[in-house]
Structure 1
Amino acid sequence: MKLARRLILTTTAIAAVTAGTLISATAGQATPTSKPAGANTKAAATPKIPDSLKVPDGHRLTGVFNAKGVQTYTCTDGAWKLLEPAATLSDKKDGSHRPIALHSRGPVWVSTVDGSAVNAAVVATSPKSGTIPELLLESTGTRGTGVFADVSYIQRLKTSGGVAPTTACTGSDQTSVPYSAVYTFYKPAK
């Protein structure tokens, strides 16, 4: 029953995000080598990155995408705890916004263009007032040969919203809070 409710919640959240207006996005490379599938390399500059979230040397920027979605929280022992994110990452190509990936629990990012995927774990956080923290994540595994193949690090930057409610909760209540962010993807430099 809980799995069915979670699947319905995630599907509903992703459908709501997809039906809404997607934020414009850019993609680019710090050292141009080859254009990754689905990435727009006519990029704007990446957001300012706190020192604690900088990617180690030896990795190159391969994609920068804007995300819009929700952070879903569930009531656990009377307090709101993060259950999962649900977001759509998009890019801007030929003047239109197109979905590039879906982001969900894991955390995982799955390309809607080529099916490639990356899972990651948080290695550093940078708190921001009034919004969810910015993050540095390290890949724990990838699959496929597309845009997310061989991704080594991910940054969540320019966060807005998504903060858990401060109100009390009871039982198995759940709530979804809208958020937006910029996700940057890095691969080992060759």
Structure 2
Amino acid sequence: MVKLEILSIFAILLFSASCSFAGDPSDSCICNSGGSLFDLPSLDMIPTKVGNYEFPKSIEIPQNITPPADQEFKFYLVCSGYSWHRCVNKTWIFEESRALFFNNEEDISCYPRSASAVTVKNAAAPQGTVSLGIGSIIPEYDTSRLITTAIVTIPKSNKNDIPLGLEKTSNNAGKGAFEDVTYIVRPKTKGGNTPTIPCGNEQFPEGYIHSRPFILYNLFYHPKKGSSKVYRRSYRQQ
């Protein structure tokens, strides 16, 4: 269950994060320009589903991060938020990611009324492992959630960008979009990668947490119909 306190943090984080891949964020963040942070969203602006089930245009998936042949595309989400890296023994180690998911890239400018899912920290993940939880925040329509862990990464030429990647899921639970997702592909990213500056010094001492904004596309896959692989949940349906 996502705690209300976590969502309040995103109200501050996402107003300063990039709203899209193209142009000045101020050009696209128009939904909130005439209102107040304390304006409650209209009910007809709250998502009633998690995910966009049309394959995103202009997206190409490198062979190295293509899911197995018995998997097929289900939906995509655009993720915007911050990644945190902690200085440990003069090395930046991934701490966690705090982000919200949107059914469409343009929906980011309409926060807080438009998010459909959220990341949560995977407390069981070993230090430095890129693994986190993802879950719906519209429980009236979708209660599903899962754990995702990186298995393949492709560094980008821009070292500031999170690598492209393939992730494997586990601990699927609830009812909805995430309940049968097995793989997640990350084919488009901007920002959020491990800091390139040294740490363990006066400016960034041991234990310092560096926060970096990012935006990326996540493509969610599930088994093809008729696949010989039977998908089993890790947790009992709730």
Same fold (TM over 0.5): yes
Is contact 2:49-2:116 (8 Å) kept?
no
Deviations 1:37-73 (A, max 9, x none): 4333355336211110001112221111111111101
SS at match of 2:153: strand
Structure 1: unaligned runs, 5 residues or longer? 1-7, 25-35
Of structures 1 and 2, the larger Rg is shown by 2
The root-mean-square deviation of aligned C-alpha atoms, in Å, is 2.8
Q: Cα–Cα, structure 1 residues 116 and 22, in superposed 2: closer, same or farther, change >3 Å?
A: farther
Letter in 1 for 2:178: F
Matches within 5 A, 1:124-139: 124-130=152-158, 131-139=161-169
Are the structure 2 counterparts of residues 92 and 11 from structure 1 closer, same or farther at C-alpha, using a change threshold of 3 Å? closer
Amino acid at match of 2:220: F
Gaps of 5+ in 2: 22-47, 123-131, 226-238
User: Is 1:13–1:69's contact at 8 Å kept on the other side of the alignment?
Assistant: no
More strand by share: 1
Q: 2:11 is aligned with what amino acid? A: A
Structure 1 counterpart of 2:221: 186
Match of 1:175 among 187, 210, 223: 210
Alignment CA distance shift 1:171-1:44 (3 Å): closer
Relative to structure 1, is the Cα distance of residues 111 and 22 closer, same or farther in structure 2, using a 3 angstrom cutoff? farther
Question: Which amino acid in the other structure matches residue 125 of structure 1?
Answer: T
Q: Which amino acid aligns with 2:205?
A: T
Identity of matched residues, %: 24
Residue 105 of structure 1 deviates from its aligned partner by: 2.8
Q: 1:37 to 1:59 in 2, by over 3 A?
A: farther
Aligned residue number for residue 125 of structure 2? none
After TM superposition, the structure 1 = structure 2 runs for residues 69-148 of structure 1, keeping only pairs within 5 Å, are: 69-92=81-104, 97=110, 98-106=114-122, 107-113=132-138, 114-130=142-158, 131-148=161-178
Q: CA deviation at 1:139?
A: 1.2
Q: 1:162 to 1:18 in 2, by over 3 A?
A: closer
Q: TM-score, normalised by structure 1?
A: 0.77
Question: Is 2:186 the partner of 1:156?
Answer: yes
Q: Report the 3-state secondary structure (helix = DSSP H, G, I; strand = E; otherwise coil) of the residue aligned with 1:132.
A: coil
Number of residue pairs aligned between Structure 1 and Structure 2 = 171
CA distance in 1, matches of 2:70, 2:166: 16
Q: How much has 1:14 moved relative to structure 2?
A: 2.8
2:52·2:77 contact (CA, 8 Å) conserved in 1? no
Contact 2:53–2:76 (8 Å) recurs in 1: no
- Partners of 2:176 and 2:116 lie apart in 1 by 11
- State the distance in 1 between where 2:92 and 2:9 align: 18
